Structure 1
């Protein structure tokens, strides 16, 4: 799957308030791993996952999930608390009402609401009572409406198709990106900022559970700016994490859970939902690394055993024979023979 790319103007929009806070472009690039070309080019130089990581780091840096969009900041963890408050809802309608109520409690400047018409409903992201305007406020409207829309899609495990997006400000920074982001027509200079969708969705049941929420929160809310379902499975992410580890033997479940900012049980449950276990992924990566070291490097069997985290070389020998049907020395001499054995075993 081709990785989605975020337009540079939209990334710049995200960091506009940081420049007002005194951050130089050089500081932004260094602290948040932003390519310098983001500020010099109109192209696309940031992947969706890369942008998600920038969002996560920048939220922590200023402790404000509104990015300065409203004068009363939303502290880090606000979205997470909201998800826990809503996960027990029975229907989409109930989840929307509870989401709106939660954010109204957090800030008097937020007055979100659900208006239900004859055929269409609209979720209004009203902050006009705050009297706040400007690029940061407009970005907050775009960011939160996208996040909440995709969060609700995840809740019912179904993409919510929007009939339109209305915004109560003029076309400005990165406006051309919005139809693609929301996959619908966008209208500016309207009375309210709102997303519109069919009433039939309101009675859709919430399919997620507290268990699935734990896995979801590993990458949310930042990942929701590009998708409501991860473009890479948790299994694949864990596999890549282990592949990048210099000493896989020192990388265990607690280390992995810490890396993904979740509990060990959350990681176990997430992998179980995808039909695998941490130790199975680790075993697969160990096997791949063993093959690589023997064919591509001049490391001794003892060195390879240590790299892979085996307590003794003899334990490495036994595992290798189980994997490939030959000893490490035989494999190094004729890896093709071992590959044939491996194919038959599978």
Structure 2
């Protein structure tokens, strides 16, 4: 038996080397059967939703009603590594958050999440040899947690930068993104272990929530909203520090197993999701035509069309879906003028954009922007569930 002491939590964790050190230290890794049994083309793991379930009583939320509105079977939440449709999860989070009278119940739980609760993703940071390696690992191993959200890491002279890119086409994500940043900041503070706010700056692509979450208040002078992407900028002064929880032996074991899991997870990426990502990227450049998208993917237009046909869809339908959910995100989570949103989504003029929004959501762009988040989240869940 191997033991180590976590001085931050004064807890003893025992790892039996004869009975799979990895499973004891990092929790169950998804096996091949689970990896290929994907519920939706675009997915995230169920861990955060399971976390919400554990908070529902304290938050005064009727969990069974949340699941019913999301049309999720409780059996889909049997394991943290189960895969759920991203649009359903985002809408469920918005629904839960908008109905919670004290949102800090949610954010504090993710900020203070018990060590190991996020499995290998947790330990690959906490046990890492340096803060830089922890940030790098979060980026490198994020595909185990989602096939449609990108977490990338890069460095400048001043900062190590984690960029969390959740495509606009999936709809509003204020509560989901805030809980994830609560987790990141809580873990970073734990790794530094000095009891002080971490030396970071925070950028959100959304507008501020109604009230500032408690975990963000120490950073109030270092937060920006309405940014192009959501980012965590960590001062370069701490990148070479050793996390207080670093554990070299366990890190080597978990890293080895996680690399195998990563290889399997990335082998089953959806081609439709990849094309949708390309559409979003080309749209931001001002040209979302099939020619531009095909060229960006190194394909001919005909090859792209045949690929989508084999997946049961068309370029027009996929473009429409990307525009639809991007419009919802921009209108409900940013203060961008309607005219600017129309241009971003490639519409010829505001009237064409307004007609499209009316067709998609039954209200004008202004009406969608003013519509209550709980009502809109429920509507999004019904539409998403109907396609799953």
Bucket of the pairwise TM-score, normalised by the shorter protein: 0.3 to 0.5
Task: Mark the structure with the bigger radius of gyration.
Answer: 1
Bigger relative CO (Cα 8 Å, ≥ 6 apart): 2
TM-score of the pair, normalised by structure 1: 0.38
TM-score of the pair, normalised by structure 2: 0.34
